[in-house]
Each structure stands twice: as structure tokens, then as C-alpha cells.
A and B are shown apart, each in its own frame.
Chain A
Amino acid sequence: MSLVDASGAACKPLIEQFQYGLDAPICLTWELTYACNLSCVHCLSSSGRRDPGELTTAECRALVDEFERMQVFYVNIGGGEPTVRPDFWDLVDYATAHHVGVKFSTNGVKITDAVARRLAASDYVDVQISLDGATEAVNDAIRGPGSYRTAVRAMEHLAAAGFRGFKISVVVTRRNAGQLDAFQAMADLYGAQLRLTRLRPSGRGADVWDELHPTDAQQRALYEWLLRHGENVLTGDSFFHLAGYGTSLPGLNLCGAGRVVCLIDPVGDVYACPFAIHDSFLAGNVRQDGGFARVWRSSELFAELRRPSGGGACSACSAYDACRGGCMAAKFFTGLPLDGPDPECVRGHGRTALDAVATGSVPKPSRDHSHRRAGPVPVTIGRRRPPDRACDESPLAGMARPGR
């Protein structure tokens, strides 16, 4: 065994070590706000409206201080749309001044010409533009009207400012799975790097997963495309379930949740991964005594995730050593047991398992910050009934009906 692993992607196999966890995460996602100007149909954090309990500027700075002490090398900032926070640029500057690199995901809404020039001047900031279609029609059907033009304008600004190697981040869906070459051409055009990630049934993604997750044929084609282009394309290690086809793709072929990965949400809640915003994967909150470091190092949930686990129903499968049973969040939000096959298992075991999931037993996301729907609302919903009696002004008065 060599003494050094110099990785091309962010993570490289060191499974024997990583599965027991690290002193600090490698891939830390920090969502700064639930506010977003868009309403993408597959938003994994069900974002839209700001939460009144979001971390203040002072709390965000204190968290950066903690990252610096823990030597968290860089954070992946997202949201919501992080750049709509008025203190966003201030926080980016604060992080980089404290030796915490920043990669932030944006739909491009605030990437003006001037901002692009500023970003291009920093070694410590990387930008990821979200785009879910190589054409306006495909993209805007997922991300909303005007979102394609917003992203393209942002990419033009970045390219013109000389920002080389920013990321174009694509969630692979049934609609865009045939556009991989077009996305690559776009990345080449702007001097950017392509990043492809997996559609998860998390957040609002649960509502559209059935119709948008790639077909079997698309999965196979994606796998082959990644084998051909993998060294130049980032994946966030999100396609390791495809390793069941044979050859492992570059990257960490292991669920990193709680081991090398975690999510800090806008109100400071720490989850095992960005795709698992649910109370079942909530490890603690950065506002608690001991802060983030204590949550990372001593939460019971993370300790559990770091214990070696058997393959469960998958252990008899010859592909298990390669795919490791796939993605925890994808299983959870489709109602599958965590020690069974991934819903998109390339051997087809997921489909069989999905057929056995009882209707109504699929967990719902614990948070929803979606924009309230525009348009007319039936007046019977939300209209307040008069109190049964004057003294019945209790929250429970008149609520003896079934339901929540």
C-alpha cells in the first residue's frame, strides 16, 4: 500500500479509515438560508421562504471561527439561494480571511459583472452555477421561467472576468440525461468544469422523483459516459450505486454521511448529509453547548453511522462490495429499509423492494419552506371558525376532528 493518496476528486477511497469518521468533515455543506428566488421542483431542502430562526451574522462568523479551529479546509455553501442573504459577501470574505475556503452554489441571480470580477480575483472562492437543462426549455421546466437565462448570464460574466474552472452543477434527470455532451460543450465554452449529481427523493424531490429519476437505460448510459469522461467531471461521489455495473467510478465509493460529510442548515441544525433533512438524521444544533465540534465528534447519530454495518438484504449480492447498498437518503425517502437495496439498484433489487413499500409509509421531510402557492386559494381552507363559546379560545377548541 502506498503511503500517500493524492486525489483528483475531493475524496478518494480510504474506506477502512473513513468509515470510522474524521476529526472534522471533508465535505461540509452549509446552507445559509431557506430563502430562494426560485422554486425548483426537485429542491432537496424544500426552500423558498426565509426561516425566522436562521443564524445571525454574528453566529455565522462564530461558526467560521469554529471551522478554523477544527481545520475544516473548505465549506460548500448553499441554500436556498445563499447570495440573497444581505451579509453573504461579508461572510465569504470572513471565511476566506480565516483560512476556510468557500465553494458556493448559486442560480446566478447575483452574479453581476462586478461580482464576477471580484470572485475571479480570489484563490479561496469557487463558484458553482446550478443548471438542470442544456436548453432553456428543459432547464426552465425544472427550475422555473427565466432561470436558464439567469444562469447563462452569470456564466458569461464569470468567463468574461477570467474565472477559470468554475463549476456547472447539473442534477441528472430523465429530462436532461440525454444532454450530457451538450453540458460538457457548455463547460468547455465557458472554461468551466462540469459537475453531475444524482437526483434524490429529498425535499420537494420526493414529489417528482417517480417521473424524473433516470430510466434504467439512462442510468446505464450515464455510467458509461462517466467512465469515459470521469476524470474531468465532478460528481460529488453521488453515483456510487452505479458501481454495481462493474468498474467503480472515481471518488469515494461509500456513503459519507456523518463520516466525512454533513450538513448545517440555516437554523444551525446538523444533519448527516445534505439529502437527509429529516429528524431521523438530525445530530444536533450548532447553538448547543460545545457547538458544531461537539455535534460532529460526539453525537449518538454520527457514532452510529460510523459503526461498521452489515449489508442487510444486500449482503448476499455479488455487487455489494462495489455499491455498498447505495444512498441512505434515497432509500429513506422512498420508504425502503436502510440496510436494503437502493431504489435505483442497478441489479433491479430496488424495484422489487419499492413494490413492497406500503402506501402512506414513506417518510415526509421534516421541514418545508416552500413558497406558498400563488393564485387563488379556496376560501374554506384557513378561514377561521368563530369560537364555539367565548371561553373556548384554546388552540384545541373545536378540533375534535380526525387528522393532524
Chain B
Amino acid sequence: MTLALLVVYIHLVSSVLLVGYFLFWLIMTVGLERLEPAAEVAPLTAAMLAGARWPPAVVPWKLRLTVPGLGWTFLAVLVLSGIAESLAGARYPVGGALGLKLALLAALAAAHAQLGRRPTPGLAKLSLGLALGIVVVSVLLPR
């Protein structure tokens, strides 16, 4: 496997993880909304945002990633591997499918910034939709 193929592989795996991440948010926020009593929702959400850290062991607590931190990490890997793909020879005309993909990515980053602070089912649906939209638009990029 050449370096260029390895970069494509990393890009694909991080796309899979990012979609899984937003699916997690959708399942979690909708699940929380269905909870009875509703007064439990805010403390459970706060506990998840502050207390769920990855990796769960080995690394000191302060250095562990929060759940939104995981999302930012996946996004960063996607952007960096996407740039690396471009540098490795994939020349796409800016505009058209690539322009749409970058616009969707910017919208996803904005939605994620909000989702990481105040998660709601609506934001989770929007984010997952945007992530899947990016996947669909990527198929249209010329090879």
C-alpha cells in the first residue's frame, strides 16, 4: 500500500468514525428526550459532557478527550488527510462538488460547535445529515 493509498484509507476510516460519532449524538439526545422524569435530562447531559473521557485509562485524566473533543479530533484528521490527498495529486477544481463539500464541512463544524455545548435532537439530526451529505457529495468528486 503506497502512502497515497494509506492517506485515502485514513480519510475513509475517519469518515466512518465521524458518522458513527454523530449517530451516537442522535441516539443519545433522542434517548435522553424520552427519559422520565424530564428533570433528569440536564444533569445526565452535563455528566456526559464533563465526565465521559477517552481513553478511559492509561492517559492522565486532564489529557483525556471529552466526547466533543473526539468529534473535533475526527474532523481534524479528516481535514488533514483531505489536504494530504490533494497534495498527493488529487487535483479537484475548486467549485462544484468540492465547493459544496467544503461548504457542508463548514456548516458541520458550526453545528458541531453548538452540539458540543447544548446537545439537542434537532442539532444531532442536522449534524448527522450534514455528515452523510458530505459522504454523498464526495462520491461526485471526479476521480
* A and B interact: no
Q: Which residues of B are at the interface with A, using a C-beta cutoff of 8 A?
A: none
**A: which residues have CB within 8 A of B?**
none
